[in-house]
Structure 1
Amino acid sequence: MSEVAGRMSIQQGAKYLERPQEGRGILLGGVPGVPPAHIAILGGGVVGKNAARIAAGFQADVTILDINVDQLRYLEDIMPANVNTTFSDRHTIREQLAMADLVIGAVLIAGARAPRLVSADDLGRMKPGAVIIDVAIDQGGCVETARPTTHSEPTYIEGGIVHYCVTNMPGAVGRTSTYALCNVTFPYIRRIVSDGLAEAVATDAGLWPRRSTCTRAR
């Protein structure tokens, strides 16, 4: 689902940058003579990589921030020329916030709360009408001013910045999400049917929960 959420973040960001949605009135890819939007992606994991791929396709100017230099090297190798990478620290985050038309919060830590990377005071550095998509909201959010929203009321404005913090982004594209989920879960079902539940849980690292209990350390 992180793949879906990452790709959706750009789709939603493009929409909420439009002026009728109270955004800055920016076209992601610009046009000849008019520069594209600048997109800052906080986190270079599955969400960030997929967001960057879609943003690059829109011809936006993209920067991915991450603390893992090896991951940044990997992203540099696979991304097109309009995607740049930079090491994530307090200085570079604040620098990117000041430049960004769209910020994607893509920092997800398995089993832990998302780290707070953007403070309420940081919103004052951003352009009025800029958009924040906090994909990490289902793990507490990586933006201090983020609070959970729904598909029926997906956004709110705080500090002059449009916040999109839907906790189940893939639910908006249920058909795609269902097929994607089935593609990755069916092999486990087949394994259980073939080998039996006890054997499958004992030998397949992907089947560690059973009856709401973890059968082994992750």
Structure 2
Amino acid sequence: MLIGVPKEIKNHEYRVGLTPASVRELRTHGHQILIETGAGEGIGMDDAAYAKAGAEIVPDAASVFARAEMIVKVKEPQPAECRQLRPGQILFTYLHLAPDPEQAKLLMQSGVIAIAYETVTDERGRLPLLAPMSEVAGRMAVQVGAVSLQKANGGLGVLLAGVPGVPPARVAVLGGGVVGTNAARIALGMGADVTIIDKSIGRLAQLDDLYGPHLKTLFATAEAIEDAVFHADLVIGAVLVPGASAPKLVTRDMLGQMRRGAVLVDVAIDQGGCFETSKPTTHDDPTYIVDGIVHYCVANMPGAVPRTSTFALAQATLPYALKLADHGWKAALRSDPHLRAGLNVAEGRIVHPAVATALGEVVLTADLVLAAA
């Protein structure tokens, strides 16, 4: 198969779809790889590194989109990229379609086969291609939250760790999945007073076993969320419903009872955000203030640490990229129900139930698409 990797064009997005090591592995399976010139510069990998691994370097994105049978990216295609996709071409990347009807419409119009990293599953129901970036985003959430708490950035002027005689900052983490667990780990390591809230008693028990009395755990009720948010200096939104829009756990009215200068970091912003007042921001202008509360809502947080993020993502996506390239999308998806869960758009239709529901589209499952193919 001819596989293409364009340079990412989203604001401050420096990651790249394949590393040179991934290119070399795909080449050993007999596949050809096109890399847009400069695509790997953000991770410190120049064209020579990709050429040495066996890739063909092409001058622009148009050359990649026009020739490749499968496009491997990191972030969702921007409108200009969507318009270069064609019927039957495979797109393998993050999509986050539920809060993005414009992208969904363009992908449907293109006729592309769009497989989303964030809805691929494994045998335990986990999201193996979302997990690496969730780990990065969860750890980063505490870093950016700590910076946002600085007075010069609109925050309370509170140090997460406190100092002898002065208590540490209070951190509330909404969601005990991969993002939340990694956020709690870093916040605890920095000396903060951390509470994590989740609706799964089993998950809370696991976290209690992992961190013991250093981490406070609460079962997710409206009252528990309100109490934690109202007393927190930093709130990290780490909830996820695969493929669907994130639930709004913090309302505009709740901001009025928070401390002025408290910080909200919405890691769920890719799926629409879990705070009612959230709106996507960029690394250029990451925060804004509503009712005295600082909001950090950057939609591609891991893009700020592209080298770490790219290598973590590439090692997770490579086995699936190989399966798609070795067998073609139809055979690969028929043989692997977990990869099949990643199919979001096929031949002009939304085919993931949660995405279709979020966008108000008729639900058409991947099984039906493959049965008719």
Q: 2:327 aligns with which of 186, 196, 210?
A: 196
SS in 1 for 2:283: coil
Residue equivalent to 1:104: 236
Residue equivalent to 1:146: 278
- Which one-letter code corresponds to 2:323 in the other structure? R
Q: Is the 8 A contact 1:59 1:82 kept in 2?
A: no
* Structure 1 gap segments, 5+ residues each: none
Q: 2:246 aligns with which of 110, 114, 134?
A: 114
Residue equivalent to 1:176: 308
Q: Is the 8 A contact 1:44 1:72 kept in 2?
A: yes
CA distance in structure 1 between the partners assigned to 2:153 and 2:367 by the alignment:
47
CA distance in structure 1 between the partners assigned to 2:147 and 2:172 by the alignment:
16
1:127–1:183 CA distance, 2 compared to 1 (3 A): same
Deviation at 1:80? 4.6
How many residue pairs match? The answer is 216
RMSD across aligned C-alpha pairs, in angstroms? 1.7
1:127–1:78 CA distance, 2 compared to 1 (3 A): same
Q: What's the TM-score, normalizing by structure 2?
A: 0.55
Please tell me whether residue 87 in structure 1 is matched to residue 219 in structure 2: yes
* Structure 2 gap segments, 5+ residues each: 1-132, 352-365, 369-373
Residue equivalent to 2:65: none
Q: Is the 8 A contact 1:94 1:125 kept in 2?
A: no
Mapping for residues 1-218 of structure 1, pairs under 5 Å: 1-192=133-324, 196-197=327-328, 198-208=330-340, 209=342, 212-213=345-346, 214=351, 215-216=366-367
- Which one-letter code corresponds to 2:274 in the other structure? C
CA distance in structure 2 between the partners assigned to 1:138 and 1:182 by the alignment:
20
Q: Is the 8 A contact 1:101 1:130 kept in 2?
A: yes
Deviation at 1:192? 4.2
CA deviations over 1:165-186 (Å, ceiling 9, x no partner): 1111111111111111101011
Deviation at 1:59? 1.2
Q: Is the 8 A contact 1:148 1:167 kept in 2?
A: yes
Q: Is the 8 A contact 1:38 1:100 kept in 2?
A: yes
Q: What's the TM-score, normalizing by structure 1?
A: 0.93
CA deviations over 1:119-160 (Å, ceiling 9, x no partner): 111011111111000111111111111111111110001111
Runs of 4+ in 1 over 4 A off after TM superposition: none
CA distance in structure 2 between the partners assigned to 1:199 and 1:56 by the alignment:
46
SS in 1 for 2:213: coil
Give the % identical residues.
55
Deviation at 1:21? 1.0
Larger Rg: 2
